[in-house]
Amino acid sequence: MMLSIDERESLMDYVTQLQSHQLKVTPQRLEIVDILTRYGHVSIEELYAKLQDKFPTLSLATIYKNLKMMQERSFLSEVKLAHQKSVFELQKEEHAHLVCSSCGAIVDISLDASTLISYAQSKSSYTIDYSTINLYGTCAKCQ
Amino acid sequence: MMLSIDERESLMDYVTQLQSHQLKVTPQRLEIVDILTRYGHVSIEELYAKLQDKFPTLSLATIYKNLKMMQERSFLSEVKLAHQKSVFELQKEEHAHLVCSSCGAIVDISLDASTLISYAQSKSSYTIDYSTINLYGTCAKCQ
DNA sequence: CTAAATGCAAAGCATTTGCAAATAT
DNA sequence: ATATTTGCAAATGCTTTGCATTTAG
């Protein structure tokens, strides 16, 4: 198999990323990371479909096992969405999601939740660790 | 059956609320509304358990059908939570949730999302209709 | 060499559907 | 009187589990 320089560099990256989360490196996992990197937000069925090309025999059980393990190792996280299926994304710093109710397109938006959190903390007796913020509307294309 | 004045007034309220959302008034639905009113946030299995007293023969199918219909009529909404089961709540003005990761306790907090939304809108080409904000941490009791 | 990951089939839950009987309006 | 709701059972769908085989380190 002939790989471009970019492809080789990505591969190295993926290997390092997996290893830094105590995840053994398998071809299936590399491809999962590549898909998540390239698409950003992927549902289970999308992931399964995209993996078929390279791994015709790959089973859904493998996907479920991997997603579970990768979540436990804080390598990725599930984004639960109103009125649609969950998607998965690589772990990154906290951010909000912009979700198009029409086509489902999702983009990340960096957003300072600290103001929100300190406000909520001042109004309640909770100490807050993290937040999930999803904003639903219509993307440019669908308008 | 003997009802207190409060109980009678709640019942009247529930009837009116259901009717204003084009939902036929059944005893099962009245009890669902009462439980949601009293507990605020309820999972499907909690709802089922709490309904057993008054309706020993009530089936899960009825709960699912009702929750679905009530969502379609904007009478209630599902709150999808990270790392735990969804809960359902009566429709109210937009607000955030404070969720205790330890005991699961959920409280509403009114929160002005308009700043957030206009910021997100200025940074993207989305027009935003609504948002879901969940803040996860530890409640006073669990600290 | 050892522990972990994969793939398959089976099992386990969660949710939906079809339908006859009961109920709301 | 009619359309909707209920409750049951069956069907569907999604996720997990067990186990033999393969693979990573």
Q: Report the share of chain A in percent with pLDDT over 70.
A: 96
Q: Name the closest nucleotide to A29, judged by C1' and CA.
A: C5
Q: What is the rounded average pLDDT of the residues A36-51? A: 98
B119 touches strand C (CB under 7 A): no
Q: Name the closest nucleotide to B63, judged by C1' and CA.
A: D6
Give me B38's structure tokens.
């009293």
Give A-chain residues touching B101 at CB under 8 angstroms.
129
* Placement of tokens 């803040």 in the chain: B135
* B38/chain A closest Cα distance in angstroms: 20
List beta partners, residue A42: A88
Q: Which sign, positive or negative, has the C-alpha torsion A27, A33, A37, A40?
A: positive
* A2/chain B closest Cα distance in angstroms: 39
> Which pLDDT belongs to residue B113?
87
| Length of chain A in terms of residues written | 143
Closest C-alpha to A97, from A116, A110, A85 = A110
**DSSP output for A40-90:** SSB-HHHHHHHHHTT-TT--HHHHHHHHHHHHHTTSEEEEEETTEEEEEEE
How many CA atoms within 13 Å lie on the side-chain side of A133? 21
pLDDT by 10s per residue, chain B, length 143? 677 777 766 777 999 999 999 999 999 999 999 999 999 999 999 999 999 999 999 999 999 999 999 999 999 999 999 999 999 999 999 999 999 999 999 999 998 889 899 999 999 999 999 999 999 999 999 99
> Which pLDDT belongs to residue B8?
65
> Which pLDDT belongs to residue A28?
98
> Which pLDDT belongs to residue B44?
98
Crossing angle for the helix pair B27-39 and B44-52, nearest 10 degrees? 120
- How far, in Å, CA of B29 to CA of B4, rounded? 20
B55 touches strand D (CB under 7 A): yes
The continuous run of DSSP H or E covering A5 comes out as helix A5-20
Q: Considering only alpha carbons, which residue of chain A is nearest residue B106?
A: A126
Q: Say which residue, A75 or B8, is predicted with more confidence.
A: A75
The string over A55-86, giving b where at least 16 C-beta atoms fall within 10 Å of a residue's C-beta and e elsewhere, is eeebeeebbeebbebbeeeebbbebbbeeeee
A136 touches strand C (CB under 7 A): no
> Which pLDDT belongs to residue B16?
97
Tally Cβ neighbours within 10 Å of residue B11: 15
Task: Tell me the per-residue pLDDT of A83-135, one tens digit each, with 9 for 90 and over.
Answer: 999 999 999 999 999 999 999 999 999 988 898 999 999 999 999 999 999 99
When the pLDDT of each residue in chain A is averaged and rounded to a whole number, the result is: 94
- How far, in Å, CA of A136 to CA of B54, rounded? 38
Tally Cβ neighbours within 10 Å of residue B109: 17
A82 touches chain B (CB under 8 A): yes
Q: How far is the CA of B61 from the C1' of D12 (A)?
A: 14
Do residues A36 and A44 touch, judged by C-beta distance below 8 A? no
A132 touches strand C (CB under 7 A): no
